[in-house]
């Protein structure tokens, strides 16, 4: 085990001489060798984002210090790029071509007229999100298993099924990815929060406003992509939405006095929409995770960009945190399957990996959410400022009340060190 001072490497050849400045020309031969080696293996994620020097290999001094625990330091000090390691829709949902091939024969032989329906979520207090579709009956495979989704232990699960006529979205009227993206955002805007509390809903509110204001900028595009990932992810991943399939009403089934608050989904309609959402998700994931690798380029020294960039990273990491908590509940139910354990590991990796990126924007008690609001250049938008200030209390609630011993260790060690315990007045 190397000593701590051996892991720390500084490229300043004369650290005692006044203000620390890096002089490239003054590198010793050793210093130059070190830089070359670090460049070859790549600085760790934290050091790269913080623009500080990293060790040649192994667990670097910065991460050792931040984690204060060798096991945790090993999880934090990662040198791989996110774009090469992220777990995305392909891992979770499967290869899109293969899933399309399963659907194909069903879509070959449709019959009857094209009937309008509404695929919807809600109504919740704040409203309802709906996607208008046209459906037709299916000749090739006329009966399907309608899945009834109900809420058990706070998560949605298939808790009932009925066999009845199969409906299919009329292929000539399939919505575009953009329309499904809008549906996804509408669902976010009526959501009441998540396993992490009210904070997810408020982050979405902020980002929805931010994206609708001002001129296009790389930061606004990144915020927009963040919302797209959050919205499409819900649609792709089974069991996150209490979807109401309008084609179920076409069956004219007697309404049951079911104890569960159940709604039935046609597997074909759902799969057609999920495939389109997955297509959009695949593209946006690739661009967002590449941008996080070069996050300095996006936010630079701009304080406003640090806040908005931080809000995006927090939204993304909470998306994965919620998945972790859902699958943790799932694994405690009697019908657990091997894939739930794999999913839990995949979500956990992403939650931790994004926490490292977000952690690089936090300095002790100063985080992008608890810092003072800095507006974009141009006229100040007061509503946006208020939306930002609303984040503070549920964020502190998450940091102080909701973090667990076994799933939040990385977030805790990088984000909440020295965090204030009582919210200051804004």
298: three-class secondary structure by DSSP: helix
Q: Does residue 49 interact with Zn ion by CB under 5 A?
A: no
Q: What is the DSSP letter of 366?
A: B
Nearer to Zn ion, 64 or 348 (CB): 64
Nearer to Zn ion, 314 or 414 (CB): 414
Nearer to Zn ion, 61 or 148 (CB): 61
Nearer to Zn ion, 296 or 370 (CB): 296
Q: Which residues of 14-26 are buried (b: 16+ CB within 10 A; e: fewer)?
A: eeeeeeeeeeeee
CB of 338 to Zn ion, least distance (A): 33
CB of 34 to Zn ion, least distance (A): 13
Nearer to Zn ion, 44 or 230 (CB): 44
Q: Which residues pair with 150 in a beta bridge?
A: 157
Q: Does residue 54 interact with Zn ion by CB under 5 A?
A: yes
Contacts of 64 (CB under 8 A, 6+ apart): 4, 7, 70, 73, 77
Q: Which two tokens stand for residue 306?
A: 């640090």
Q: Does residue 220 interact with Zn ion by CB under 5 A?
A: no
Kindly tell me which residue out of 9, 38, 44, 236 binds Zn ion, with binding defined by CB under 5 A. Answer: 44
Sheet strands (E) in 93-247: 110-124, 127-138, 143-152, 155-165, 167-169, 243-245
Kindly tell me which residue out of 9, 38, 47, 106 binds Zn ion, with binding defined by CB under 5 A. Answer: 47
CB of 309 to Zn ion, least distance (A): 20
Q: Taking the CB of residue 28, how many other CB atoms lie within 10 A of it?
A: 10
Per the CB < 8 A criterion, the answer to whether 311 and 395 are in contact is: no
**Helices and strands in the chain: count of H runs, count of E runs:** 18, 7
Q: How many residues belong to the site for Zn ion (CB under 5 A)?
A: 7
Residue found by looking up tokens 């490239």 in the block: 24
Per the CB < 8 A criterion, the answer to whether 292 and 222 are in contact is: no
CB of 30 to Zn ion, least distance (A): 18
Residues in 57-76 that interact with Zn ion by CB under 5 A: 60, 62-63
CB of 44 to Zn ion, least distance (A): 3
Only segment of 10-18, 45-53, 296-304, 398-406 that touches Zn ion (CB under 5 A): 45-53
Q: Does residue 77 interact with Zn ion by CB under 5 A?
A: yes
CB of 201 to Zn ion, least distance (A): 33
Contacting residues toward Zn ion, per CB under 5 A:
44, 47, 54, 60, 62-63, 77
């Amino acid at each position: 085990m190397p000593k701590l001072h051996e892991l720390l490497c500084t490229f300043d050849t004369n650290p005692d001489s006044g203000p620390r400045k890096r002089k490239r020309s003054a590198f010793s031969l050793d210093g130059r060798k070190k830089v070359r080696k670090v460049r070859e293996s790549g600085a760790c994620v934290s050091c790269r984002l913080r623009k500080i020097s990293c060790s040649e290999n192994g667990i670097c001094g910065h991460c050792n210090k931040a984690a204060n625990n060798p096991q945790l330091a090993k999880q934090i000090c990662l040198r791989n790029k996110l774009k090469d390691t992220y777990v995305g829709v392909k891992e979770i949902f499967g290869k899109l071509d293969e899933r399309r091939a399963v659907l194909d024969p069903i879509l070959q032989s449709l019959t009857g007229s094209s009937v309008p329906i509404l695929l919807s979520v809600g109504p919740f207090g704040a409203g309802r999100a709906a996607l208008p579709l046209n459906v037709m009956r299916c000749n090739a495979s006329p009966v399907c298993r309608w899945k009834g989704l109900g809420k058990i232990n706070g998560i949605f699960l298939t808790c009932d099924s009925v066999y009845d006529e199969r409906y299919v979205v009329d292929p000539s009227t399939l919505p575009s990815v953009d329309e499904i993206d809008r549906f996804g955002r509408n669902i976010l805007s009526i959501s009441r929060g998540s396993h992490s509390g009210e904070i997810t809903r408020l982050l979405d509110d902020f980002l929805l406003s931010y994206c609708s204001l001002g001129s296009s900028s790389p930061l606004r595009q990144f915020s927009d992509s963040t919302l797209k990932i959050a919205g499409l992810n819900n649609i792709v991943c089974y069991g996150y939405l209490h979807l109401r399939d309008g084609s179920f009403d076409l069956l004219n089934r007697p309404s049951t006095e079911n104890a569960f608050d159940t709604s039935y989904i046609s597997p074909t309609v759902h799969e057609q929409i999920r495939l389109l959402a997955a297509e959009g998700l695949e593209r946006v994931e690739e661009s967002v995770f590449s941008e996080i690798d070069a996050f300095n380029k996006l936010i630079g020294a701009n304080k406003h960009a640090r806040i908005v960039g931080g809000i995006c990273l927090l939204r993304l990491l909470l998306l994965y945190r919620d998945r972790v908590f859902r699958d943790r509940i799932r694994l405690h139910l009697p019908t657990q399957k091997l894939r739930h354990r794999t999913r839990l590991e995949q979500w956990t990796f992403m939650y931790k990996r994004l926490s490292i990126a977000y952690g690089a924007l936090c300095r002790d008690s100063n985080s992008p959410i608890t810092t003072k609001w800095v507006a974009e250049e141009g006229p100040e938008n007061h509503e946006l400022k208020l939306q930002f200030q609303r984040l503070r209390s549920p964020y502190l609630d998450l940091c102080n009340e909701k973090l667990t011993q076994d799933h939040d260790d990385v977030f805790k060690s990088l984000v909440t060190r020295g965090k204030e315990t009582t919210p200051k007045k804004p």
